[in-house]
Structure 1
Amino acid sequence: MTDVSIVSEFDGNGMIVERTKVKTLGSGSFGQVHLAKLPNLISGDYFFAAVKSCAYSCSDSIQKELYVLRQFQDSDKIIKCFGDVVSFEEEVTVYNLFLEYASGGTLRDLIRRYGGSIPEPVVKCYTKMLLEGLRCIHSEGYVHCDLKPENILVFPGCDSNETLKIADFGLVRRANENHAVEGGPKELKFPGTPLYMPPETIVKRHISPALDIWSLGCVVLQMITGKLPWDGMKDKMELAIKILFSRNPPNKISKPLSDQGKDFLIKCFARKSDERWTADMLLSHPFVTATQEKSDDCLPSMEEFEACLCDMSILVE
């Protein structure tokens, strides 16, 4: 969707800056994200950024995101934030947060480009990247609370290999913080996206880093199977029962998975949160360490993967 327009606004020094809206990237309950072309006031060149915008009166969660992201500017596995600005558009006061633009889209898009199932050697590399991001988040006393493929962005990396970065910190909480639980079973309230939530979020109010580890397990399964966790649930109540009482992981794996991969998922899906491995512990698990000595060998670029698929189709014909 193309929606080119010019927005004039004041930067932190009181100077007027023109921002060109190039296209809409997405929207949600918070507002809208668009691709913008911005002037670099130091070099005089232009650069692209993703701008998350909403009415200033509803911008509390986005402003919190700015505060949190500023603490992770040195991490290459967490999305970068360039600052914020207030603009006036069509007589509405708008809050804008400037973020790194991910030209590769989201992890969900990447799963689709791989045909619905990412090869296990590549999953290992992506999982290591996500663990490094989570370790950084948890070390600062935060819990992301909404780790899912849509909130993981894909960036071109060195040698054309993709790099994953964790994004969307609108639901981030402090470790040991409580989340609100409504009165009756029909009013179940999860701290994040229900499909990716662990058992303790249903029966307890306690937020801990173990929540993100369960969500990570769901993301790893989704990379392998291409399916949403607990796919096919009719409502939150049915989902809650499944999460609480099922002895199986959220997805059945219909393809071979290494013993290391199975053990890694067992560590992520421990039903008791205090038995779940931490991000630091999982970074030493053989699933992510066995092939990491030379990352170029374990992580083909999308171009290489698509070329391989093309070669295979020629052979079939």
Structure 2
Amino acid sequence: MEWVRGREIGSGAFSTVYLATRSSKYDHVHPRFLPPTLAVKSCDDARSDDASMKLLKDEHDVLARLGRHPNIVSCYGRSVGNLLIEYTPLGSLDRAGPMIPEGLLRRYARHLLRALVYVHSRGFVHCDVKPQNILLFPGRGGGAVAKLADFGLASRVGSRKGGFRGTPFYVSPEAVNDGKCGPSWDVWAVGCVVAEMASGRRALSMRDGENSWRFMVRIGAGEVVPEAPEQLSEEGKDFLTRCWERDPMVRSTAEMLLRHPFVADCDDDDCQAIDDDHRPGASPRCHFEFAGLDSFICWGSESGASSLESGSSSESETTSISSDSALSFGYRERIQRFAGDRMPDWGEESCSWIEVR
């Protein structure tokens, strides 16, 4: 795809983000799949080292495996040193104001949790949840929809890539102490984001003159403990308590937090639209909505057919499997849901046939 780079609209440690426009030769493409205005993350001459290039490639690979989701920024392709992504004129959550009203905060927290439930179900951890990586897009009725962005540090669940990954102010104790990547990392960060957006200041802060490494050591040792903002409602404080359980085995999951009253009862038309249009396991309505065979998702237990034969089921659990076995396992598992104990009688007298489209 050909595109034209415009002005700079942001920058990070490994890349610069520019406004981009689609080349005129692509004007015939439907804007739903290729909008005329894009954002491009680029490794410019000053940052075009191997590590930066790898991060862009890794981000593209993760987004390709995740597929489309209404609360995840869309990716439109990659070229050498460039990643084309969805553009928003509203910017990131950290630019929404020093303190966000609780009604809006509940809405954005709900959107963020929806994205994380989806990411975790696909076997990934974002590893860098923070306000700068949550973008706001125009929604229905003049509101805004929050979308999770910047998957350059995302990792597979259980992986170890040289210790913790992320930003010190949002890093969990187990990320410092253990380094084994898990969904609990993202949940801790959600609490830090909600507290920061409610109070206008970070939930965890460094001492004067303290460096990042010493700060993280104190997080791992439990010397730095986040506190819920006083102005937050009791529901909000309870929500943060569940995000900040020190034991990751006790800490709530993103899916559990979606049922918490702090976000479950928010008045949000866009949330309802996501419920209706993109609930897990919903059938795609066109070929563009398939996530791809390399990340085929089967609903049910990992044991697949054997669990169905034994009469057990696990509708709330998702298992990601490779493309090698996706077709054979996925379709077999679905078909067996409708299977009976007896072979059908296909005789003309026993069946009435109808025409279907």
TM-score when normalising by structure 2: 0.68
Q: Alpha-carbon deviation of 1:120?
A: 1.1
Residues 1-317 of structure 1: pairs in structure 2 closer than 5 A? 11=1, 17=2, 19-39=3-23, 41=26, 43=28, 47-54=36-43, 55=48, 57=50, 58-86=52-80, 95-110=81-96, 112=97, 116-181=98-163, 190-233=164-207, 234-246=210-222, 249-251=225-227, 253-255=229-231, 257-292=232-267
Distance 1:246 1:200 in 2: 10
Distance 1:245 1:56 in 2: 35
Q: In the superposition, relative to structure 1, how do residues 250 and 82 fare at CA in structure 2: closer, same or farther (>3 Å)? A: same
Deviation readout 1:155-177 (Å, 9 max, x if unpaired): 11111101110000000010011
Q: In the superposition, relative to structure 1, how do residues 294 and 63 fare at CA in structure 2: closer, same or farther (>3 Å)? A: closer
Gaps of 5+ in 1: 1-10, 12-16, 87-94, 182-189, 297-317
Distance 1:64 1:232 in 2: 31
1:239 partner amino acid: F
RMSD: 2.2
2:129 partner amino acid: L
Distance 1:139 1:252 in 2: 28
Q: Is the Cα–Cα contact under 8 Å of residues 66 and 122 in structure 2 kept in the other structure? A: no
Gaps of 5+ in 2: 272-357
Report the counterpart of residue 311 of structure 1 in structure 2.
none
1:271 partner amino acid: R
Q: In the superposition, relative to structure 1, how do residues 264 and 252 fare at CA in structure 2: closer, same or farther (>3 Å)? A: closer
Q: Secondary structure at the match of 2:5?
A: strand
Report sequence identity in percent.
35
Q: In the superposition, relative to structure 1, how do residues 106 and 201 fare at CA in structure 2: closer, same or farther (>3 Å)? A: same
Q: Is the Cα–Cα contact under 8 Å of residues 204 and 224 in structure 2 kept in the other structure? A: no
Q: Secondary structure at the match of 2:181?
A: coil
**Regions of 4+ moved over 6 Å:** none
Q: Is the Cα–Cα contact under 8 Å of residues 225 and 253 in structure 1 kept in the other structure? A: yes
Q: Alpha-carbon deviation of 1:56?
A: 7.4
Q: Alpha-carbon deviation of 1:254?
A: 3.9
Distance 1:248 1:61 in 2: 30
Distance 2:13 2:217 in 1: 27
Q: Secondary structure at the match of 1:267?
A: helix
Deviation readout 1:34-70 (Å, 9 max, x if unpaired): 0011136251787111101113744111111111112
Distance 1:61 1:212 in 2: 19
1:79 partner amino acid: V
1:236 partner amino acid: S
Q: In the superposition, relative to structure 1, how do residues 281 and 48 fare at CA in structure 2: closer, same or farther (>3 Å)? A: same
